[in-house]
Amino acid sequence: MVFFTCTFLLVHFTGALTVEKIKGWLEFAQTASLMYVVLVVILLMFADLLIPVPSLPVMLFTGYLIGPFWATVATMTGLLLAGSVGYGLSYRYGDKLVKFILKNEEKRKEAIATYLRHGPIVIILSRAVPMLPEVSACMAGLSRIPFVKFVALWMVGMLPYTVVATYAGHKSSIENPQPAIIAVLCLIGSLWTGWFYFSCRNRVKS
């Protein structure tokens, strides 16, 4: 989380990656070919693993430019690549980092056990909070959640989010941004409702 926060601050204060710049890249790519737009979106979604990319605006604008089908394909491909690479890197190298951060073996076991207990819900609802999807993918690899299970959970959380966002972007325009606004409110509202229900249920169990 510290790493992702640092990259967020770096990108934010340097202005290296803004929504306006991303729009410019996508509009330029559209003048060349549909496949160029798809490739740019895949790269942006994959880059979200390392640097903070405003994924929801990208989904909306891509849906507006190339339609919901190709926008969904491009977005999901990039996000799946990002999640898989984050999982793989943490599966391979995460132990060394955790041993450096948590010297006490019992604390390490407790942290991993906690994530194994709540990890599936965290993965599914992670889109509610910036940077949490990347953190949850890395934690899934670190805690050795089976890869097939991780991908299934990742897709459950990603598919409806992506489909709604790209379709709303397709139905929106400069003159009529209402579908995009409604989609953003519904997506954020439903995810936070899920977090609230999960928190209350977990509190009652405790």
pLDDT tens per residue across span 38-87: 898 999 899 888 877 888 888 888 888 888 999 999 999 999 999 999 99
Question: Which amino acid is present at 76?
Answer: M
139-155: average pLDDT: 90
For residue 113, the tally of other CB atoms under 10 A from its CB is 11
Residue 193, pLDDT score: 82
- The letter for the amino acid at 199 is S
CB neighbour list of residue 58: distance below 8 Å, 6 or more residues apart = 22, 26, 41, 44, 45, 75
Q: How many domains does the chain have?
A: 1
Domain limits at 62? Answer: 2-205
pLDDT digits (tens, 9 = 90+) for 182-206: 877 887 788 778 777 777 776 666 5
**Vertex 148 angle, CA 71 and 197, to 5°:** 75
Q: Select the more confidently predicted residue: 177 or 163.
A: 163
Distance (Å, whole) CA 145 – CA 142: 8
**pTM for this structure?**
0.78
Q: Is 172 helix (H, G, I), strand (E, B) or coil?
A: coil
